[in-house]
C-alpha cells in the first residue's frame, strides 16, 4: 500500500495535502525533476558564478524563462519577474540540489557577487588521465583545512579556480539565457544520465498532483463562500445605515 493510500481520506483536499508527511513531499521534489541526473565519474566539481540580482542578463541562473522571453524590454521584464519570480523555479535552488542529491561526492559551489555587469558562468571540471602527480595533488587538496577550502559565497570571494593538474574545465555562458537552455547545454556537455522515477514514485507523484488540483478547487469554493458572506455582511451593514438615516430624517 502506498503512503498516500494509507494517509488520505478526508473531506477536504486541502486537509488531505496537510496530512501528507512533509518528508515524503520534500523527498519526491528533491529526487525527481529538472536536475535529477547521475554525472559521469570524470566530473570532479561544478562551480557557478553570477550576480546577486537577476537584471543585466543574470536571470538565467535564477529564473525560468520569462513571459514574453527576450522580447520584453527592461521595465516589462522587471514587472514580469516581480509577478512571476516566486512561482518560477530557480536554477541554482532546484537543479543544483537535485544534482547534489544524486551526486553527493561532487563539490558544487555557487559564487555570487554584486557585479551585475560581470559574467554569469558555470564551470564544469573533468578529471583527465589519473597520473601520479594528479593523485598527489588531490591528496594534498584533501589535507587543506576546511576553512581554507573553496566554498560558496555571496560576496564574490570564491571565483572559479583554474583547473588543477590532471583536470580540464568546460564552461557554460549563462548570461542572457533561460534556465532550460542552460540545463540542456549542461546535460549535453556533461553526458549525465537522467534518473527516472520508479513505478511506485510515479503513482505517488500522480496522486499528489491530483490532490493539488482538487485542493485548488476546494480553495476556490471556500474563497467564493467567504467572499459571498462578506458581501452579504456589507450589504446588511449598508442597509442598516440607510434605515438609520431614514429614521433620523423622519424624526
pLDDT of the residue at 202: 79
Q: At what angle do helices 199-250 and 22-31 cross, to 10 degrees?
A: 120
pLDDT of the residue at 175: 83
pLDDT of the residue at 135: 52
Separation between Cα atoms, residue 181 and residue 65, nearest integer Å: 9
Residue 79: other Cβ atoms inside 10 A: 13
Burial 150-169 (b: 16+ CB within 10 A, else e): beeeeeeebebeebbebbeb
Phi, psi of 10 (to 5 degrees): -95, 175
Greater pLDDT, 70 or 212: 212
Greater pLDDT, 142 or 28: 28
Is the Cβ–Cβ distance between 47 and 126 less than 8 Å? no
In this predicted structure, the answer to whether residue 36 has a pLDDT above a threshold of 80 is yes
Q: What is the mean pLDDT of residues 200-217?
A: 79
In this predicted structure, the answer to whether residue 201 has a pLDDT above a threshold of 70 is yes
Structure confidence at residue 247 as a pLDDT band (50, 70, 90)? confident
Q: Which of 22, 27, 20, 16 is nearest to 211 (CA)?
A: 16
Separation between Cα atoms, residue 124 and residue 160, nearest integer Å: 10
Q: At what angle do helices 91-102 and 179-190 cross, to 10 degrees?
A: 30
Separation between Cα atoms, residue 174 and residue 184, nearest integer Å: 12
Helix (H) or strand (E) run with residue 110 in it: strand 108-113
Separation between Cα atoms, residue 201 and residue 2, nearest integer Å: 9
pLDDT of the residue at 34: 85
The length of the chain in residues reads 251
| Grid coordinates of 82 | 516581480
Separation between Cα atoms, residue 163 and residue 46, nearest integer Å: 11
Separation between Cα atoms, residue 42 and residue 125, nearest integer Å: 8
Mean pLDDT, all residues of the chain: 73
Greater pLDDT, 122 or 57: 122
Amino acid at each position: 500500500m502506498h503512503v498516500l493510500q494509507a494517509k488520505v481520506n478526508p473531506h477536504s483536499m486541502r486537509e488531505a495535502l496537510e496530512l501528507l508527511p512533509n518528508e515524503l513531499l520534500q523527498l519526491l521534489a528533491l529526487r525527481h525533476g529538472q536536475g535529477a541526473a547521475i554525472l559521469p565519474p570524470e566530473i570532479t566539481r561544478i562551480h557557478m558564478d553570477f550576480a546577486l540580482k537577476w537584471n543585466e542578463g543574470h536571470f538565467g541562473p535564477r529564473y525560468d524563462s520569462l513571459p514574453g522571453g527576450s522580447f520584453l524590454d527592461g521595465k516589462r521584464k522587471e514587472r514580469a519577474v516581480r509577478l512571476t519570480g516566486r512561482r518560477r523555479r530557480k536554477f541554482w535552488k532546484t537543479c543544483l540540489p537535485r544534482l547534489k542529491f544524486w551526486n553527493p561526492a561532487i563539490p558544487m559551489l555557487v559564487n555570487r557577487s554584486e557585479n551585475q555587469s560581470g559574467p554569469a558562468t558555470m564551470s564544469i571540471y573533468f578529471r583527465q588521465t589519473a597520473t601520479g602527480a594528479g593523485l598527489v595533488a588531490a591528496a594534498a587538496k584533501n589535507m587543506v583545512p576546511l576553512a581554507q577550502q573553496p566554498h560558496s559565497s555571496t560576496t564574490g570571494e570564491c571565483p572559479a579556480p583554474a583547473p588543477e593538474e590532471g583536470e580540464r574545465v568546460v564552461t557554460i555562458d549563462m548570461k542572457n539565457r533561460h534556465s532550460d537552455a542552460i540545463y540542456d547545454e549542461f546535460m549535453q556537455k556533461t553526458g549525465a544520465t537522467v534518473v527516472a522515477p520508479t513505478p511506485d514514485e510515479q503513482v505517488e507523484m500522480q496522486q499528489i498532483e491530483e490532490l493539488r488540483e482538487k485542493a485548488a478547487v476546494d480553495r476556490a469554493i471556500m474563497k467564493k463562500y467567504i467572499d459571498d458572506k462578506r458581501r452579504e455582511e456589507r450589504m446588511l451593514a449598508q442597509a442598516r445605515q440607510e434605515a438609520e438615516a431614514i429614521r433620523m430624517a423622519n424624526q
